[in-house]
Chains A and B, each alone.
Chain A
Amino acid sequence: MIESRWDVVVVGAGPAGLAAACMAAEAGRRVVVLDENPQPGGQIWRGEDHHWIRRFSASGSTFRGACTVVDQPEPGVLHVVGRNISYHLRFKRLVIATGARERFMPFPGWTLPGVVGAGGLQALVKSGWPLAGKRVVVAGAGPLLLQAAAFFRSRGARLTCLAEQTPLRRGLSFALRSGKRLQAIALLGRLCDVPYRWSCWPVRASGQERVESVTLRQGDRMWTEPCDYLACSFGLVPNTELAQLVGCELVDGAVRVDEQQETTVSGVYCAGEPTGIGGVDLALIQGQIAGCSAAGSLQRASAFFEQRARWIEFRARLQAAFALRQELRQLPDPETVVCRCEDVPLKEIRPHSCWRSAKLQTRCGMGPCQGRICGPIVEFLFGWKVDSVRPPLTPVRLEQLVNRGSAATADRHDSHPG
């Protein structure tokens, strides 16, 4: 098995990870950044020419794309797997910046082709999927809805409805009081002719082979909107699996960190969405603090504390404003599939007392996604705590679980960073 040693290993090349890597590398540390995507930037800056990406390229950090951490074979060592590689990385400090994933909401028809995550559809379109002339309904909660809608429109989609489950009053007061006022107004301006409905959510998607229409509810009114795509975005879920695997404590579903962004495991730092969904600005600040801390520059880290406090306040307002409404819990009917990997409907899960019991008896959460999608769903529906993670963190070929290889391969790999 290939071994290589680094002062700082950063997992995740989104805003938090890039900021951390820059700070640590600029302080003279040997830094490597790992990401599942072939290019740095994360979900948010993928394919963009962002100044943080340029700064990262100039920082002296090494980037390794198209790979993922699957296990921690021993403290201080990560097992990394790519398409045709499998090796161990030894670190002195680890920065976890694994970002977040979309939260899905089950309702009848949500598994029909054409019912997609708004973020997933954006990624698809960015990689060339045609959307021109397609009728798209965007539904869910939070500021990402607006962003997604504006993006779909820019690629020629016909936005027929934008359904935001949040009441207008809460959304408006958030927008007006946040530092994002201008951004929100600009986005709304680009969408001014789209029916924008507040306190509105999908109750059913219908269609034969794929989605043909969505039934929406707003107050007592229900109507059916024809569409080619229903793009849903019910907020984000922190990716805490790697943090859990290395032993970090969670609090309310997010990684617990101290002032230095250090987790409950010494030498392991966490920044951005895994510490709580707060958006790109907080991620950048936290990333810089984590990078400074990991490099031992505590003084420099403290310069960002005040800014961080402001964005943490923003995070609290964001989470309160777009909290999911209880009515959404009533959306799935007994036959609605909750676990898509294993095809487990709600009626089979409901009789259980906890996640472990449901898992053991129904296989809910035991498929390829390992509960990444249905775990947050059952947390929301039943208030269950989703239990510990198991290696490998993502599916890998069996041969990649075998510890073999040679130092020669290690050298070859390290001489071709990025």
Chain B
Amino acid sequence: MTADVIVIGAGIVGAACADALTQGGLRVVVIEPSLAVSGATGAGMGHLLILDENEAEFSITRYSRDRWNQMAMEMPSSLEYERCGTIWIAAVPEELPLLKQRCAFLQSRQVRAEILDSQQLAEAEPNLRPGLPGGLFIPDDAILYPPAAAGWLLKRAEQRGAAVLTGKRVTHIQAWGVELEDGSRLEAHHVVCATGMWTPQLIGGLPIQPRKGHLVITDRYPGFVRHAVMELGYLKSAHGRESESVAFNVQPRKTGQVLIGSSRQFGVTDARPESRIISSMVQRAIDFMPRIAQLSALRAWTGFRAATPDRLPMVGPVANRPNCLLCAGHEGIGITTCLASAGLVSAFILGDRPPLDPKPYAVERF
């Protein structure tokens, strides 16, 4: 036996699994076909946030966000963790009732949240366009730099004895382990498939689809944006199934840079940035923050989210695949939710009590 568990994929989900499993005392081998964190993890925004469209989304984001915040003290500075909070913006007065409803829900679940009126919103984010009706402030949401976060989780796992093999491609998952492209075999009691949008290549028939996103980053303008700021309409863009949508979403990086998103596209596999999408995404940002127009843009890039039909990850055993656990499909919130997913995976393998009810994320729900 090579290991107790083989984790396929060294993105943040695989890294979190390796971290959790080694914490449980297991011998872990992580296998990555490319370079660690070179997929969605290396492209994403790194927003640690609570979403509340439904109970399942709330539970997994709430558990994970709080875990991240608990871990903050141990994090090296390279993770650029900052508890800057999220402000959700109502673009029109008609959106205020929904903001208030969300605020009441979060408060009823002991999540700190407050409504900002028009003036408080302007004080919190002076570069927003004047006259916006109000916002929902969630102070304990945070941001971090995803590649460094995943790198740190992997390093912790390595310090507990895990091996990370990069540049090795798994071609088949078997009950006894995995077969690699070079013909070699690695044996393990369990295989965890944390392969994001590439999962259907290893396990056929799963409803995981790539969903392309664009981001733009600016030069350094410390203080220009103070919180992760998103329009309420972001939820429509994220939860909707339209083939193409953009939403206003900006983030202050610790470097002083402003990270600007976001876009969502189904049915595109070409990774090249599309100026048409960047144009409408940036226009959306200018609509909300007029002065952002004058900031210097350094770079635009894209990434692919692993999207499932209900936007919840698929975590747990896979039918007819003995000893194989799936941990994929985290869409745009894998940086947040990887911790809950990893907790579920390690509970399955160790037979421990799961940190949250695994049913909503079960693979067989589709």
Q: Does B301 interact with chain A (Cβ within 8 Å)? A: yes
| Partner-contacting stretch, out of A260-268, A323-331, A332-340, A356-364 | A356-364
Question: Given the complex, which residues of A lie within 8 Å of B78, measured CB to CB?
Answer: 361
B297 touches A401 (CB 8 A): yes
Q: Does A397 interact with chain B (Cβ within 8 Å)? A: yes
| Partner-contacting stretch, out of A14-22, A186-194, A365-373 | A365-373
Q: Does A251 interact with chain B (Cβ within 8 Å)? A: no
Question: Given the complex, which residues of A lie within 8 Å of B295, measured CB to CB?
Answer: 397-398
Q: Which of B272-298 contact A (CB under 8 A)?
A: 273, 275-276, 278-279, 282-283, 285-286, 292-298
Name the residue in B148, B219, B278, B295 with the highest tally of chain A Cβ atoms < 10 Å from its Cβ.
B278
A403 touches B300 (CB 8 A): no
B279 touches A402 (CB 8 A): yes
A71 touches B296 (CB 8 A): no
B282 touches A402 (CB 8 A): yes
Bound form: Cα–Cα A295–B260 in Å: 42
Given A356-B35, A390-B273, A402-B283: A368 and B298 within 8 A (CB)? yes
B297 touches A398 (CB 8 A): yes
Given A354-B35, A356-B38, A390-B300: A397 and B282 within 8 A (CB)? no
Q: Does B147 interact with chain A (Cβ within 8 Å)? A: yes
Q: Does A38 interact with chain B (Cβ within 8 Å)? A: no
Min distance, Cβ A360 to any Cβ of chain B, angstroms: 4
A401 touches B279 (CB 8 A): yes
B300 touches A391 (CB 8 A): yes
B151 touches A71 (CB 8 A): no
Min distance, Cβ A169 to any Cβ of chain B, angstroms: 43
Q: Does B37 interact with chain A (Cβ within 8 Å)? A: yes
Cβ 8 A contact of A391, one of B36, B148, B260, B273: B273
Q: Which of A376-404 contact B (CB under 8 A)?
A: 390-392, 395-404
Report the nearest A residue to B289, measured CB to CB. Answer: A398
Question: Given the complex, which residues of B lie within 8 Å of A401, measured CB to CB?
Answer: 216, 275, 278-279, 282, 297, 300
Question: Given the complex, which residues of B lie within 8 Å of A353, measured CB to CB?
Answer: 35, 166
Interface size, A (range): 20 to 34
Question: Given the complex, which residues of B lie within 8 Å of A391, measured CB to CB?
Answer: 273, 275, 278, 299-300
A392 touches B283 (CB 8 A): no
Bound form: Cα–Cα A401–B294 in Å: 11
A399 touches B293 (CB 8 A): yes
Question: Given the complex, which residues of A lie within 8 Å of B296, measured CB to CB?
Answer: 368, 395-398
Q: Does B127 interact with chain A (Cβ within 8 Å)? A: no
Q: Does A156 interact with chain B (Cβ within 8 Å)? A: no
Cβ 8 A contact of B151, one of A361, A370, A392: A361
Report the nearest B residue to A396, measured CB to CB. Answer: B297
Name the residue in B42, B255, B297 with the highest tally of chain A Cβ atoms < 10 Å from its Cβ.
B297
Question: Given the complex, which residues of B lie within 8 Å of A404, measured CB to CB?
Answer: 283
Min distance, Cβ B36 to any Cβ of chain A, angstroms: 7
B148 touches A361 (CB 8 A): yes
A403 touches B38 (CB 8 A): no
B286 touches A402 (CB 8 A): yes
Report the nearest A residue to B218, measured CB to CB. Answer: A398
Cβ 8 A contact of A79, one of B218, B255, B275, B282: B275
Question: Given the complex, which residues of B lie within 8 Å of A296, measured CB to CB?
Answer: none
Bound form: Cα–Cα A370–B297 in Å: 11
A360 touches B147 (CB 8 A): yes
Report the nearest A residue to B285, measured CB to CB. Answer: A398
Bound form: Cα–Cα A391–B283 in Å: 17
Min distance, Cβ A88 to any Cβ of chain B, angstroms: 9
Bound form: Cα–Cα A404–B166 in Å: 45
Bound form: Cα–Cα A368–B295 in Å: 12
B275 touches A403 (CB 8 A): yes
- 1/0 per residue, CB under 8 A from A, across B242-282: the answer is 00000000000001000010000000000001011011001
Report the nearest A residue to B36, measured CB to CB. Answer: A357
Given A360-B42, A402-B283: A392 and B37 within 8 A (CB)? no
Cβ 8 A contact of B275, one of A73, A366, A397, A399: A73
B275 touches A398 (CB 8 A): no
A368 touches B276 (CB 8 A): no
Bound form: Cα–Cα A73–B273 in Å: 9
Bound form: Cα–Cα A79–B78 in Å: 36
A390 touches B293 (CB 8 A): no
Bound form: Cα–Cα A346–B279 in Å: 37
A370 touches B299 (CB 8 A): yes
Min distance, Cβ B10 to any Cβ of chain A, angstroms: 11
Question: Given the complex, which residues of B lie within 8 Å of A366, measured CB to CB?
Answer: 298-299
A73 touches B276 (CB 8 A): yes
Question: Given the complex, which residues of A lie within 8 Å of B294, measured CB to CB?
Answer: 397-399
- 1/0 per residue, CB under 8 A from B, across A291-335: the answer is 000000000000000000000000000000000000000000000
Question: Given the complex, which residues of A lie within 8 Å of B166, measured CB to CB?
Answer: 353
A368 touches B279 (CB 8 A): no
A398 touches B293 (CB 8 A): yes
Min distance, Cβ B290 to any Cβ of chain A, angstroms: 10
Given A391-B273, A399-B293, A401-B278: A367 and B298 within 8 A (CB)? yes
Question: Given the complex, which residues of A lie within 8 Å of B292, measured CB to CB?
Answer: 398
Name the residue in B151, B273, B299 with the highest tally of chain A Cβ atoms < 10 Å from its Cβ.
B299
Sample of 9 further A-B pairs with CB below 8 A, known A360-B37, A397-B294: A363-B255, A391-B300, A395-B219, A398-B292, A398-B296, A399-B293, A399-B294, A401-B282, A401-B297
**Subset of 8 A-B contacts with CB under 8 Å:** A73-B275, A353-B35, A366-B299, A368-B296, A390-B300, A392-B298, A398-B292, A401-B279
Task: Spell out B's residues near A (CB within 8 Å).
Answer: 35-38, 42, 78, 147-148, 151, 166, 216, 218-219, 255, 260, 273, 275-276, 278-279, 282-283, 285-286, 292-301
